[in-house]
Amino acid sequence: MSAVEEFLAMLAAERGAAANTLSAYRRDLEGAEAAIGDLAGADGAALGRLGTVWADLAPSSVARKASALRQFYGFLVDEGVRGDDPSSALPRPATRRPLPRILTHSEIEDFFRRAEDEARSNLPAAVRLLTLIELLYGSGLRATELVSLPLSAVPRDAPFVTVTGKGGLARMVPVGGRAQSALSRWIAIRPEGRFLFPSRGGKHLTRVRLFQLVKDLAVRAGIAPEKVSPHVLRHAFATHLLEGGADLRVLQTLLGHADIATTQIYTHVDSARLVALVNERHPLARGGQRD
């Protein structure tokens, strides 16, 4: 077995990496190997040449590829295959993680008003769409988590669903009253099948179809479709909760983030609200007001 295959096997066995994650690592490692030769025996000079090979790529792509290689060489050192780690020669592009796109509170209201108006027809497609967006915005589910929910993940009369997230890790996600109401309506009229949102052939609704449904609803609600996606609704869930005073650690749990650093992207909340919070809650600020 090659060193790359052994590394991928370790990711799958020890870290529970998903198939898509393993495929991405494989592409990056095999691409680097095609450019400079055997990775297991490559030295710093060889890795330095990747900067030229990757010159036309976006900084984020370069950072991702370099990260895969650094982890690969760390694995080789840990396994005793190499006594040195040449990954310090890899390019380190300066990247700034972009802030997530979110919808304003008024846009969310317009979006849901349209979905609710359409669902009054009680047509299955309209009720399904309302349920989908209630779970995206009301519970912060990822698109893949949502469409692949089995019916058994929704306990009877319980205010939560059991979600299998990245790496096969399960978490319990609370479901608000609005989403519960939509879920009850949908379960009463949904077609038979083991998935909550079944499709033909015993499969479930696809991510692509979910994206189409959400963007089409945005158009009907008078919102530019490029502003809306399932992930944007998840971002709005997180940001609006944080604005309402939610704790960052709680938000991390709700979103299923393995690392709190991923959740911290949502701290781009209104600076005026943060100043007001300090003035209102800080002990010295309260003492000054009493004086």
Assigned domain for 237 exists: yes
Rounded CA-CA distance 157/93 in Å is 50
Across 82-93, average pLDDT: 87
Q: In this structure, are residues 134 and 185 in contact, taking their beta carbons and an 8 Å threshold? A: no
Out of 114, 234, 235, 240, the active site residue is 234
Catalytic residue among 257, 273, 281, 282: 257
231 is an active site residue: yes
Is residue 38 located within the same domain as residue 115? no
Q: With contact defined as beta carbons under 8 Å apart, do 238 and 251 qualify? A: yes
Active-site residue (options: 178, 215, 227, 231): 231
Residues 191 and 75 in one domain: no
Could you tell me if 185 and 131 are in contact, meaning their C-beta atoms sit under 8 angstroms apart?
yes
Q: How many angstroms separate the CA atoms of 107 and 74, rounded?
A: 46
Q: 266: pLDDT confidence band, cut at 50, 70 and 90?
A: low
- In the residue annotation, 166 being an active-site residue is answered as yes
Give the total number of structural domains in the chain. 2
| 138-152 CB burial, b ≥16 within 10 A, e <16 | bbbbbbbbbbbbeee
- Given the residues 25, 73, 137, 266, the one annotated as active site: 266
Range of the domain at 144: 105-263
Cα–Cα distance measured from residue 210 to residue 74, given in angstroms and rounded to the nearest whole number: 39
Give me the mean pLDDT over the 185-210 stretch: 90
Sequence length of the chain is 291
Q: Which of 82, 166, 178, 207 is catalytic?
A: 166
CA separation for the pair 197, 22 (Å, rounded): 27
Q: Tell me the C-alpha distance between 17 and 11, whole Å.
A: 6
Is there a single domain that holds both residue 37 and residue 128? no
Instruction: Say if residue 119 is in the same domain as residue 44.
Output: no
Q: Is residue 231 part of a domain?
A: yes
**CATH for 239:** 1.10.443.10
- The rounded mean pLDDT for the chain is 82
Q: Could you confirm whether 142 is annotated as catalytic?
A: yes
CA–CA separation, 128 vs 234, rounded Å? 18
> pTM for the full model?
0.58
Q: What is the pLDDT of residue 291?
A: 44
CATH of the domain at 64: 1.10.150.130
Phi-psi region of 193 (alpha: psi -120 to 50; beta: other; left: phi over 0): left
The catalytically annotated residue of 128, 142, 235, 240 is 142
pLDDT in tens, 27-68: 999 999 999 999 999 999 999 999 889 988 888 788 889 888
The token duo for 139 is 């519970």
148 in the same domain as 198: yes
**Based on the domain organization, do 23 and 143 belong to the same domain?**
no
Could you say which DSSP state residue 201 is in? Answer: G
Cα separation, 145 vs 202, in Å, equals: 17
Q: Which of 58, 89, 120 is the last residue of a domain?
A: 89
Q: Are the C-beta atoms of residues 174 and 155 closer than 8 Å to each other?
A: no
Q: Answer whether residue 124 shows pLDDT above 70.
A: yes
Identify the pLDDT of residue 120.
93
